Amino acid sequence: MTRHSSVAFEDTETWSPSQAAGRPISSFDIKRIIVLRLPAFLITSTIALVVLVPLAWFLTPVNYTAVAEIRFLSVRPRIMDTESSASIAGSYEKFVSTQAALISGNTILQRVLNDPQVSALPQVMQAPDRLAFLQEHVRARQKSGTELVQLECSLPDRDAARTILDVVKNEYLDYALGQEAYAGGERLRILVTERDSRQKDLELLLDQVNTLQAKLGPIADGATTPGMSEIGLYRESLVRAEEDHSRLRLELSTLEDQVARANEMADSYSTESGDRMESGDIERSVDADPRVAALTQELARAKSELAMMSARYKEGQQAVEKQKQTIAAIESQVAATKPIVRKEMLYAKAKALEEEAEVLRGKVTEADQRVTKYKQQLDDSAKRMEAQSGDYASLQDLISRVDERRTLIAELSKQITDLGLESKAPAQVSLASDVTVPASPGIAAKLASVLLAAAASFGIGFAVAASKELMDHKLRTPDDIARITNVPVIAKIPHTSEDLWLKGSQPFLLTDEHVHSATADQLRRILTSVVYPTEESAWVNSILFTSPTRGDGKTTLACSLSVALAQANRRVLLVDLSHRRPDVESRFDLEPADGLLEILMGQRTFDEVVRETRVPNLYVLGPGRGTEGLAHWLVSQQMVQFQAFAEENFTHVVFDTPPALLMSDASLLAPRVDGVILVVGVDTSNRGMVLRCLQDLERIGAVTLGVVLNGIRSMRGGYLKEHYDLHYNYAGHGRSKEDPAEPATH
């Protein structure tokens, strides 16, 4: 066989009928990449590791991480609280998560940026977006299973990290304490102190009343002195009326201030500037206005249409530009409409507040009238009591003061209860540990970069291996044939280095000299495809051997099949059509002589040129001695007559043709034979050449019996060598590879 040395090849499963009926398999095989491209993967990955890992280590900056901890103490449920323990626990977790997000959010970080120490830092001054810079380097996270939130700031500059985190910590604590004071913590303490003081005064007054009542006797109970109960009733009514009058006057004053501010805001607002209002209610009302809402919906539709146009048209086309102009016009309308609506909303709010104030003025007038009425009634009653003693007057004064104290204490208690419910928070904030910075920087970022570089190195190695696989068109296994066609691989001829019996023997005589060799076994597989053809051909009389290019071993396999058929007691004619490079006659130790060309030209008869070989039942016909060649004779009527005569007188006619991609001889004869066998050498033909050859055969209507893959080598991860070792041991009755069985004799 004509074969050349090549790299190691794998051995995989052969073609099956299910593969023939389906589509070719994918050309990208992970297992194949691992088996074939492992050296390339390892070399590339190693080089990349050597280069990228040191670069990642030295180029990644080291950071100092400043750390501080804030503690959030959970609060016990109050006695009259209606919330369950589970809901309080859930509120606590939500509160801590919210505070952690607040610390690293815009509210606190913007206050940090306003601090002179932070704004003067070079890192902050050089940042394009200072707020984004802080958001990137300042983190707050709750430590699992604890009440602590850990604050961190990582920067290459140790002092800068400490300064920023210290300001963050201080700003948050100030903010949290301010919120607590705003919620009523300080006011709650003042109210409790005031209530306790009034309670002591009440106890002293009650002692004085008891003493004076004991002194006055029945008169103190009002049994003998008319008008005492009436005066007490008037006094209580007057006190309530005065309290209502004071409260309503305070509410009216507050509401009038709001009306004044609303009118001032409405009068000073300029529709030309179009500034947004800080009040969320005003802006929500503006957004809900039908005019603004309609323009907003129209703008959204226009932007959606622009997005669809951008997918269909290129940037700059007229339709896209026109749509952009439409969007700009709508945005201008929105910008012009919102200030008008906003000013209308301001005047509407001012008018509503004025109406509330007018109603409250009526209530104040009514309360003032009641105060005047009760005062008049109290004065009238007092005149009737002028005759009573000074002790009785003192008693009434004390009783009045007692009632006032009781009323004041009740009001204070109610305010304390309401304020406690309103200002209750699920946690109390305190500093657990102040800012600390380690003396040496952390290397976590470097380690992460190294791991990323290592992953990238392996990715580069795999990419190189995959690219080499995708660019490699060489044939190595039957699976390579299956990737480009569904034509079956009917035999896999091993390389000479894989067949122990092939050394020193003629390959095409192995079926006679070494019947147990692996090559002979594969040759018999070709014989099986001829003797038991597929359903498309009931009988294979004429067979054509061809190959994509030179060196595929086509002539050797044609001779081998002819010998095998002859040994099967079949009358075989082997015809050599390679006029330019004849080789068949020399394989059987015959001298070149007249052949097919002389028959077609009518110079010699069939019986005169056909010669017997040393193999019984095998006859050889050479291309002939003529110089004009056979190509134009292959489509002649004489060739048709010759083929018909040969098929009638021989069981099988085997044609050995020149390579199909180099010469047209095979294409001229292939449509008229019963079957074509394509011989492919793994070291000579590639997948593109095989595909072209098979497509040409299919185009001219030739029946392709199958592909013979010639010169397969074992490779890493394959089982070819183990398979052949088992084959030799079985054929040699247990003899090892170093001690092969003796050649079989016939």
DSSP codes of every residue in 289-332: SHHHHHHHHHHHHHHHHHHHHHHHS-TT-HHHHHHHHHHHHHHH
CA torsion 117-120-126-127 (nearest 10°) is: 30
Distance CA 85, CA 95 (A): 15
pLDDT of residue 572: 92
Element (H, E) at 528: helix 518-531
Which DSSP letter does residue 219 get? G
Enclosing H/E stretch for 139: strand 138-142
Q: Considering the domain boundaries, does residue 239 fall inside one?
A: yes
* Successive 10-residue mean pLDDT values, the chain, 746 residues: 32 36 50 70 85 81 84 58 49 81 87 88 88 88 85 86 88 76 63 83 84 67 54 80 84 83 77 64 79 85 84 78 85 83 82 85 87 83 63 79 87 74 58 82 76 88 76 69 79 66 52 56 71 64 89 84 87 89 85 88 90 91 78 87 92 90 84 89 81 89 86 58 50 42 34
CA atoms within 13 A on the CB side of 309: 16
Q: Region of 715 please: left (phi>0), alpha (psi -120 to 50) or beta.
A: beta
- Among 355, 387, 419, identify where a domain stops: 387
What's 218's DSSP letter? G
Q: In what order do the strands lie in the sheet with 704-712?
A: 489-494, 704-712, 675-681, 542-546, 652-656, 572-576, 618-621, 611-612
Pair (489, 608) in one structural domain: yes
The whole-model pTM stands at 0.44
In angstroms, what is the C-alpha Rg of the chain? 53
- Same domain for 580 and 702, yes or no, is yes
- 36 assigned to some structural domain: yes
Question: Do residue 456 and residue 535 come from a single domain?
Answer: no
* Within-domain flag for 716: yes
Same structural domain for residues 383 and 464? no
- Kindly report the CA angle at 444 between 439 and 445, in degrees rounded to 5? 110
Domain-terminating residue out of 339, 371, 387: 387
pLDDT of residue 322: 84
User: 681 - beta bridge partners?
Assistant: 710
* Same domain membership, residue 327 and residue 454: no
Whether residue 348 is contained in a domain is answered as: yes
Residue 656 is part of a domain; what is its CATH number? 3.40.50.300
- Cα gap 445→564, rounded to integer Å: 72
- Is 333 found in the same domain as 236? yes
Question: Does residue 490 share a domain with residue 588?
Answer: yes
Q: Within this chain, do residues 585 and 505 fall inside the same structural domain, yes or no?
A: yes
Asked if residue 330 belongs to a domain, the reply is yes
Is residue 622 included in any domain, yes or no? yes
Same domain? For 237 and 322 the reply is: yes
Last residue of a domain, one of 367, 387, 407: 387
Query: For residue 192, what are the contacts with CB-CB under 8 A and spacing of at least 6?
Result: 416
Could you give the CA distance from residue 212 to residue 394 in angstroms, rounded to a whole number? 8
Q: Which residues contact 157 (CB under 8 A, 6 or more apart)?
A: 64, 123
Answer yes or no: do 267 and 321 share one domain.
yes
Residue 105 lies in a domain: no
Tell whether 113 is covered by a domain: no
* Domain identity same for 634 and 586: yes
Residues 624 and 663 in one domain: yes
Instruction: Give residue 706's domain range.
Output: 484-731
Number of separate domains in the chain: 3
